[in-house]
Chain A
Amino acid sequence: MPGNVAGIAARMDKLYEFDREPVTADKLQSGSKFAGLLAGEHVAATEFVIGAFFVLHGVTARDLLLGLLLGNLLAVLSWTFICAPIAVRTRLTLYWYLQDIAGPGLTLIYNIANALLYCILAGAMISVSSTAVGLAFRVPTPALTDVFPSSALWVAITFALGLAFTILAILGFDKLSRFASVCSPWIFVVFIAGAIAMLPRLGVNPNLDNLWEIARTRIWNGVPTEGQEQFHVWHIVFFAWFANLAMHIGLSDMALFRYARSWKYGLYSAFGMYPGHMLAWMCSGVMVAAVNREMNPGRMAYEAIGVAGVFGVMLAGWTTANPTLYRAGLALQSVTNWPRWKITLAAGLATTVLACFPVFFLKLLDYVAIYGLVLMPVGAIVLAEHWIFPKLGIEQYRARKYGWIMNWRALAVWFGTLAVCYAMPFHLFFRWLPGYFLALASYTLLNWGSRKEAR
């Protein structure tokens, strides 16, 4: 069994070989490049659903504004003070740094977990696109409580879209990702224009004198839709903070920030957060309020800007699903040793099947929380090893030094933290933070014994 893991890990290393070496000084990128990249990265199909769900959860306008301002600030600070400093000091991706800390076996588990979580997220995006195509065929929107597909036609449309996205991902990732970068600014404009176009329907006067009144009484009026739990300011703060938890606290954006000239480049994440995770969420809230709170991204965009809106939702789903299928395929390729096209096809088909179940996009907020929570302990382990161990005289990078396939302490902390988080008696959104401190403390304590050896 250890031989198998070592063999799989070696294959995975080969796939990631191209970014094995630390980034050299001549490859560092300017701040403007970071601003542009981060601005484009955080406007996706998920934004159509998340902002709309805030309305359905009965958040008030004041709580929404305060929550998004504070939550996004915390996210920006997490990139700046947690992710970027480690990335700039090591100039490595999390994949390679984790090998030194946790061993290739645990890195493999991390990659597979990441791939599966990504597949579910991509599935949700395909479902969002299906709501757009479904308009043309008058497919009834799944109800908020639906778990299983609502009709055969919904399955057929979702399957056709999933298959099309998969084939496009197989045909050429590079060219398509360049086209996707053209889509990002336009998709952002779809959000803004869609919300502006819907304001008259909600009763906003052209001189905007009643904008705040309409926002607080007709959009974010504090009344949840039947069956939806009431959200308050702290739900919004924490959601905005953990929406990209795997990227900042979980450190997967080390891949990006290793190209930064300084750790302060983490502040450029504000260019992604405030337009994407504040403005776009507010715009989708306006759109869902204008369609009588029907959670149907396709209909929201169609009623706002017509056929272009339908394309906007489809493209937003596709531009999210395409890199996701690529990453999932890359992570799983090492396990199967299949060629890229075959594993992308398999990941795409699995994702498509998941997409047929509307529960994944209708429970997107909970899923985003779980996604971040599952990968968060790995970020805590790396942070402890990088910053805390040297301060306490605990030996670092023992997996690399002693050739461990698996750092069992890291594995125990990862799964132990998740077990404790599962049992925590409070809302899912708030569990990751105590879990993070628990992971930091327990990983440090479990390694306390190696303190003497280091001296």
Chain B
Amino acid sequence: MTKTILGAAALLSITACLLAAALHFAGMLDAATFRAVFAAASAAWFITATGWESRRKR
């Protein structure tokens, strides 16, 4: 269960990184906000993806 939640959260985080770039390109996010969102989503990715990876069967 935890593994599924972590996997989903990791997927959401990395999608947020890409979405932030797309919104910046579309002019809906200024550069500073885009960078802050990207950094936060990246941190979330590393936390959740590392948790998910450590629960994977080898």
Contact = CB atoms under 8 A, between A and B. Distances in A.
B17 interface: yes
Contacts of A182: 46, 49-50, 53
Contacts of A194: 21
A300 to B, nearest CB: 14
Given A179-B50, A186-B14, A189-B14, A200 B25 contact: yes
Most chain A CB within 10 A, of B25, B27, B35, B50, is at B25
B21 A197 contact: yes
Interface residues of B, number: 23
Interface string B19-58: 0111011110001001110110010011001100110000
A307 B31 CA distance: 12
A186 B46 contact: yes
B35 A196 contact: no
A185 B46 CA distance: 11
Contacts of A197: 21, 24-25, 31, 34
B18 interface: yes
A306 B38 contact: yes
A178 B50 CA distance: 9
What size tier do the contact residues of chain A reach? 20 to 34
A347 to B, nearest CB: 27
A305 interface: yes
Contacts of A181: 53
Interface in A197-212: 197, 199-200, 204, 206
A189 B46 CA distance: 13
Contacts of B21: 192-194, 196-197, 305
B50 A193 contact: no
Contacts of B53: 178-179, 181-182
A249 B24 CA distance: 42
Given A186-B42, A186-B45, A200-B25, A192 B18 contact: yes
Interface of A: 178-179, 181-182, 185-186, 189, 192-194, 196-197, 199-200, 204, 206, 305-308, 311
Given A197-B34, A306-B35, A306-B39, 19 more contacts: A182-B49, A182-B50, A182-B53, A185-B49, A186-B45, A186-B46, A186-B49, A193-B17, A193-B38, A196-B21, A196-B24, A197-B21, A200-B24, A200-B25, A204-B25, A305-B34, A305-B35, A306-B36, A308-B35
Interface of B: 14, 17-18, 20-22, 24-27, 31, 34-36, 38-39, 42, 45-46, 49-50, 53-54
17 contacts: A179-B50, A185-B49, A186-B49, A189-B14, A192-B18, A193-B21, A194-B21, A196-B21, A196-B25, A197-B25, A206-B25, A305-B34, A305-B35, A305-B38, A306-B35, A306-B38, A307-B39
